[in-house]
Structures are given as C-alpha cells and as structure tokens.
Structure 1
C-alpha cells in the first residue's frame, strides 16, 4: 500500500494507440511524451494505460521507454490490456522487465478454434494486408501492416470483418460489428467485432474501455487514494466509455479526444480537444506538457 494519504489532484486513464503511440509507426515517436509521463508519475499522478493492445506490446513500446527514462520506484503506474482482459503494475520495483506478473481473465477469451481459423485466414488470403497478433491472450486482433497505406487497408477491412462474423455465426454465436446499426446477427450477442483505423479487434462483449476503467480503479485502490479528478484520453468514439464509466460512478472527469474528426458526442462531462488543432500523439504530447506545467505550478 502506498504510504501517501492525500488524494492526488489528477489521475490519467490513457489509451495508447493515437494519444501516446503514433498510429503510423505504432511506437512512441515523440520523446517528450515519455519524459512527461515520467514527470507526472514522479509527483504522484496515477497513470493507467487502458488499451486494446497486448501486455507484450505495452512492455516493449511503453514500459521499456518509461523505465529507461527513469520511472521511479513506487510510482502509481499500471497497465490494463485487451480492454480489461489482462492487467499488471509497472515500475522498476517489479524486476528487470519493469512489470508485475500479468493477470488474465481466461473466462473472456475467444474460442481457440475460432482464433486458429482467423490466423489461417490472415495467412492465406490477407497476408499482403494484415498480420495476426499472436501476443493477445483473450482477444483476436488483426492489424494493418505498416507497409500498407491506410486507404488500401480501409478499402478491404470490411470484407475481412465479414469473414470473421461468418465464422462466429457458423459456430452458433451471436455477434455484431460495433459500428453497424443493423440488427444483431443471431440471438444473444456474445462476441463483438470492433474495427479501428489500423486493426480489427474481435472480443467478448464484456470487454471494453469501460471494463478497463473498472480494472484501473481496482488497481489504484490497492496502492493509494483515488484521484480527485480524472482525464481520460483516446482517439476513437469507443474511448469515451472510460469517461462514461467514471462519470456514472460519481467521479469528476473530462475526456480528451485527440481525433475529434469522428464527431464529438453529447456527454454529461466536458470534452477537450487540442487548442492547436493537433491530432493523435501530437495532441497527446500537447496535453501531457500542459498537465506537467500545471503540477509544477
């Protein structure tokens, strides 16, 4: 348990792709982002990465840079991956890798035979477009190759998603595509297809950024007092679920949208966008720099 008794003024719940990592390179491309994350952690601001990415991706692309940049022992930093299916703590006190043991909710994992079929489909028909993410423990994720243009990927993404839906319906499952307004394919919906600008996630309907927010607060409750207010940060409409959950459970929150071109929904909490009209990780860097300036007075 953290020895601090005062509640931090601010807590950050951060999507990774977009606000932290470049959606082009899939890495932290702006060094100031890592520097400012460490600076916030040093003054006791809790940071939780709430992402659809795997723990292996977060280890390589987020944890390693944070440790190298001097993340202090005892900082309140955690990772919630695969939209709430796995979670862990981050810091040098957890050994050379900088991560505690990963906890996985196996009850939320996709059927193994479906995962194998999607892996074979990618290898056979879509190897020029995407790759199958073998580091996922619960979800099935199929991601755009960095050598493929966004336009080429998006032109074929829908067809790949339809193949995944057919494979699930054939098995007797209820499934829907997250951005589809048509009726659900069959019966009670158990699985969801969630397309993003660089990938498609196929997952349990019990997973989501709201489930990730719930996991995040459970982790923080174990190491100290909860923040007085929150900023959630994301680049897609599904990321608003973080702020939705926090607001519904009585927390003061504002959401930062680093890609507002999708449209800003009506919300009961403030929505913030870049004053400089920056997007993605450039907008994320702008907000982080502002929060560092605020806490340093």
Structure 2
C-alpha cells in the first residue's frame, strides 16, 4: 500500500471520512465534468483534515484531469493529501498540491490484453457511432457513451454490445457473466464480469469492486495514522452500496448516501440517506444531490 506522502499532516481521528464514487455524485453523468462549487467544497473539507477518498471505476487519468487539477487550481494547500482508488480497486494513487504521487496497480486484476484489443476492434467496427473505447484504463476494459448520443439510444445499443462482449469472452476461453451487483466478499463463479452503468460498460475481474476500494481506503488512511470516527459513502448505483457494506461488515460506523435512488433503496443494517433527508425534492439527484451533501458537511465541519 502507498506510504504517506511527505509533508502531510492530518488529525488522527477526524469526525468523518468521505468515500466518494465519482460519476454521478461528483462528476455530472451528462457533461462528465465537476462543478466549481463541488471542487471548492472538496478542497475545504480536505484542507480541514476530513479525509477525501475517491472510489471509482474511472481511470487515474480521468481523476487527474477532472478532479485533481481543478482542486489544485482552487487552492488546495500544501500538506493536504487526497487519495484516489480507480478502476474499482485495481489502480490507486494519492495527490497533493504538488501533483500526483506514484501510480500503483495490481496487475493480477487486469483483463487479458488480447481480449481488450479485440473489444477495441469490435467497438471501432460495430459500435463507434454510440460509444468509444476508453484508452486510459490500465486493468479494466471499458466503453462509454459519446456525449452527443442520447442516453436512450446508447442504452439500447449497450445491450447489443454487452451480448457481443460476453460472447467474445467465451471465444477467448474466459469465463464471464453479465452482472448488475457484486456483493462484498462474494464467491462469483466467473473470473470476469460485465458491469453496465447508465453511461458505460466496465469489463473487469470479479475481484474488483467498490468493496475492494473501501478496503484500500482504510489501508491508505491507516498508513497515515488516521482512523476516522465515522464514514460517509456516496454513490449512484446499487453496486456502490458495497462500499458501506464492507465498512459496516468490518465494524466501521458508516452511512451511505444514494444520489440516484430511483432503483430503490435496499434494506441495510446502516442508515441510507437521499436528497430528501436534506429537505430537497426527489428530483434532486446525481451531482446536484452529491454537491448538496458535500455543502452540508462543509458547513457542519468547516463553517
């Protein structure tokens, strides 16, 4: 695990630690960028010693461009460390106002290169009008909706792509399944899974997941001598609950924030919050809801 970055100082037992999915809660799923007010609140919270850890399926390149660079530009002070766990736990790095530290990757969790090459060709030949191959991923194979394509059109085409990608797995002699949920510490029969989201499909090792990201987050903070009193996890899909599931299972105090509860809020042994708990309407979702929660924590903890 990453060693503490030089010069970093933090409270040893902060009141909260934030474990944040990026697409949806932080970055707009429509524009893919992050609102300046969200960046400002992230900087304020991190600067006040509230650990901010991103736990995302996105690549390290996306986090550097859409989150790290704007946070540094917004005045992130020297000594503040932010952690980014990318590709659902396969890749991770930390950054300060001086930029990113080393990129770490668990190579055992990578999808075979030959399969990724064939998916790239398949997208170019059959699906390029609706989606693109994400060249920034190191361990996962991902395709994503073009910004100028309607989401309804993309989702219809996604079903065809997912079926073709699954069939291609078989031709490579790989076992895979199309899944919409990965339970923490589950024993999946397949070696790989296709995880479709509202704007992408991730093809990944079944050992990846937001639960692995939560485990890495705890280890990263422990390496800094930090033990949060409580955690807040934030996501926009059922798979994001795995963050809070893992933390609760490992005896951490946690509440989960669902910024897109239209799929239904499952019964959990910990509290689940939505925008309505802030007095907002049910139509406040995605980064509008994520931003509202960040603002509420900043007002309560920083002022």
TM-score w.r.t. structure 1 length?
A: 0.93
Q: CA RMSD in A?
A: 1.4
Q: Which residue of 1 aligns with 2:24?
A: 18
| 1:286 aligned to which of 285, 292, 295 | 292
Q: Which residue of 1 aligns with 2:184?
A: none
> Are 1:53 and 2:62 matched, yes or no?
no
Q: Which residue of 2 aligns with 1:202?
A: 203
Measure, in 1, the Cα distance between the counterparts of 2:209 and 2:10.
31
Secondary structure class of the residue paired with 2:275: coil
Q: Which residue of 2 aligns with 1:66?
A: 71
Secondary structure class of the residue paired with 1:16: coil
Secondary structure class of the residue paired with 1:202: strand
1:149-164 to 2 correspondences below 5 Å: 149-164=150-165
* Contact 2:9-2:80 within 8 A present in 1 as well: no
Secondary structure class of the residue paired with 1:189: coil
1:1-297 to 2 correspondences below 5 Å: 3-4=9-10, 6-28=12-34, 30-93=35-98, 98-179=99-180, 188-275=189-276, 276=280, 277=282, 278-296=284-302
Q: Which residue of 1 aligns with 2:185?
A: none
How far the C-alpha of 1:74 sits from its partner, in A, is 1.9
How far the C-alpha of 1:59 sits from its partner, in A, is 0.5
* Contact 1:76-1:223 within 8 A present in 2 as well: no
How far the C-alpha of 1:222 sits from its partner, in A, is 1.2
How far the C-alpha of 1:24 sits from its partner, in A, is 0.3
Measure, in 2, the Cα distance between the counterparts of 1:175 and 1:61.
31
Measure, in 1, the Cα distance between the counterparts of 2:46 and 2:292.
17
Measure, in 1, the Cα distance between the counterparts of 2:144 and 2:226.
37
Measure, in 2, the Cα distance between the counterparts of 1:120 and 1:129.
14
* Contact 2:255-2:271 within 8 A present in 1 as well: yes
Structure 2, gaps ≥5 residues long = 182-187
Measure, in 2, the Cα distance between the counterparts of 1:5 and 1:25.
35
* Contact 2:46-2:81 within 8 A present in 1 as well: yes
Structure 1, gaps ≥5 residues long = 181-186
How far the C-alpha of 1:135 sits from its partner, in A, is 0.5
How far the C-alpha of 1:4 sits from its partner, in A, is 4.6
Change (3 A) 1:188 1:273: closer
How far the C-alpha of 1:172 sits from its partner, in A, is 2.3
Measure, in 2, the Cα distance between the counterparts of 1:5 and 1:159.
50
Measure, in 2, the Cα distance between the counterparts of 1:71 and 1:24.
26
* Contact 2:80-2:97 within 8 A present in 1 as well: no
Q: Give the count of matched residue pairs.
A: 286
TM-score w.r.t. structure 2 length?
A: 0.92
Measure, in 1, the Cα distance between the counterparts of 2:179 and 2:271.
24
